Structures are given as C-alpha cells and as structure tokens.
Amino acid sequence: MADLKRRSTANLVIMGSGVLIGSLMAADVIDEYLLIIAPLVLGSGRRLFAGGTHASLRLIECVTSRTGVVMATYERDEPVTGA
C-alpha cells in the first residue's frame, strides 16, 4: 500500500472495515479520514479504531445532512505512533 501511495498521482480512496483501517494506520499510510456518522446508537460491536495505534487528527470539514448524518473529514495532525 505504501508503494502504491508513493507511485500514485491521484488520491487513493479506501473503504473497509476497522481491521483494514487498523492495518493501514499501523503502516502510517492514511493522510485523511472521512467518518460518516449516522444518528443511531447500537450499543455493542467492534471499535472502529481498535488496537494500540494512536493517531492525532485535526478536523478540517464537518457537514450535517438534513437527516442528521454527520460527515466529518479529518487529517493527520502528527505521525502515527504505537504501530
């Protein structure tokens, strides 16, 4: 993935599970996160960012739809640690 990122002239968009996101975070190849948050609390399930990886993020955009869905865009504020 890191090699693909280096060779690419365009942005790469990756959609996946928390496991995939965790692996990419640990490899320090994610520059921007788009979190789509629905107004629904399930009360159980897996954590999106499980594991020991720490990433400090900075909010760069936040949009709320008429239905209450929030689309928050974050970028890395500092290098990933604990990978």
What are the chain's domains? 2-76 (3.40.430.10)
To the nearest whole percent, how much of the chain has pLDDT over 70?
86
Q: What is the pLDDT of residue 62?
A: 98
Torsion region of 23: left, alpha or beta (phi above 0 gives left; psi -120 to 50 gives alpha): alpha
**Which of the four pLDDT bands, split at 50, 70 and 90, describes residue 18?**
confident
**Which of the four pLDDT bands, split at 50, 70 and 90, describes residue 50?**
low
Indicate the pTM of the whole model.
0.73
Instruction: Answer yes or no: is pLDDT of 64 > 90.
Output: yes
Distance CA 39, CA 45 (A): 16
Q: What is the pLDDT of residue 13?
A: 82
